[in-house]
Amino acid sequence: MHSSQVLNLPLSMKTMYDIAEFVIRSVEMINPQQVEKMVELLVDFYNTNKSGKVLVMGAGRSGLVGRAFAMRLLHLGYNAYVLGETIVPAIGQRDIAIAISGSGRTKLILTAAEAAKEAKASLIALTSYYDSPLGKIADVVVEIPGRTKYSMNEDYFARQILGITEPLAPLGTLFEDTAQIFLDGIVAELMMRLKKTEEDLRLVHANIEL
């Protein structure tokens, strides 16, 4: 879409455009080797340790992203759980913990990740900062781009004139949206490697819903 067309859109639609543009750019920024390590760990885990557990951890909106991913892992045949639920079992050696934190410093998630490592579980971290405390203790790190600073100028037109291209997305929105789409991509990759069809997933999907 031409820049002049974007300027004439309602603010809500400009924001959608900004976020979508950021997500598309992020594809070029994510390291394929990091992604492959994550996928290989999950595939090998499925093929050799079907009784093992996968615990997904995230706080706030990152937690919602994690819940959506855990649901798809369940549909794929993993024993997937979400930190904070009452039915979460103990995890230990040969289990996997997946921690989602843009800053890599969220205390609740960092503490949980450290506990998972002490229990000898493998730790996958999704964060914007490889050298964050979370990144440093993880077995596999996937760097997901996100907003790195806050713009002091909230006016869209002024930011365009000044060449400030930070999208109209508060707090961790960019990380969370990008992480959600990235994890949907991981689901597609796992479906292919595990030879799962949409029908396979549908059979595991909840059949008692409100």
- Which pLDDT tens digit goes with each residue over 179-207? 999 999 999 999 999 999 888 888 887 66
Long-range contacts of 107-115 (CB under 8 A, 24+ apart): 108/59, 109/57, 109/58, 109/59, 109/62, 109/134, 110/134, 112/57, 112/83, 113/57, 113/137, 113/138
> Is residue 11 within 8 Å of 156, Cβ to Cβ?
yes
Query: What is the residue type of 180?
Result: Q
What's the full length of the chain, in residues? 210
**Prediction pTM value:** 0.85
Of 176, 173, 174, 184, nearest to 69 by C-alpha is 184
Judged against a pLDDT cut of 80, whether residue 46 lies above it is answered with yes
Of 30, 29, 25, 27, nearest to 165 by C-alpha is 25
Mean pLDDT, the chain, whole residue set: 86
What pLDDT digit, counting tens, does each position of 74-83 carry?
Answer: 999 999 999 9
> Is residue 16 within 8 Å of 23, Cβ to Cβ?
no
Half-sphere exposure of 62 toward its Cβ, with a 13 Å CA cutoff?
26
- Residue 134 CA, chain-centre distance (Å), reads 14
What pLDDT digit, counting tens, does each position of 93-148 carry?
Answer: 999 999 999 989 999 999 999 999 999 999 999 999 999 999 999 999 999 998 64
Judged against a pLDDT cut of 50, whether residue 150 lies above it is answered with no
Judged against a pLDDT cut of 70, whether residue 172 lies above it is answered with no
Of 62, 150, 148, nearest to 110 by C-alpha is 62
pLDDT at position 153 is: 46
**39 or 168: whose pLDDT is higher?**
39
Other Cβ atoms closer than 10 A to 112: 20
Q: Any idea which architecture 3-200 has in CATH?
A: 3-Layer(aba) Sandwich (3.40)
> Is residue 175 within 8 Å of 165, Cβ to Cβ?
no
Other Cβ atoms closer than 10 A to 207: 7
> Is residue 130 within 8 Å of 117, Cβ to Cβ?
no
pLDDT at position 154 is: 45
What pLDDT digit, counting tens, does each position of 114-129 carry?
Answer: 999 999 999 999 999 9
Helix H or strand E segment including 29: helix 11-29
Confidence of residue 63 (pLDDT cuts 50, 70, 90): very high
pLDDT at position 169 is: 60
pLDDT at position 35 is: 98
Question: 3-state secondary structure string, 38-92?
Answer: HHHHHHHHHHHCCCCEEEEEECHHHHHHHHHHHHHHHHHCCEEEECCCCCCCCCC
Judged against a pLDDT cut of 50, whether residue 163 lies above it is answered with no
Catalytic residues: 176
**171 or 54: whose pLDDT is higher?**
54
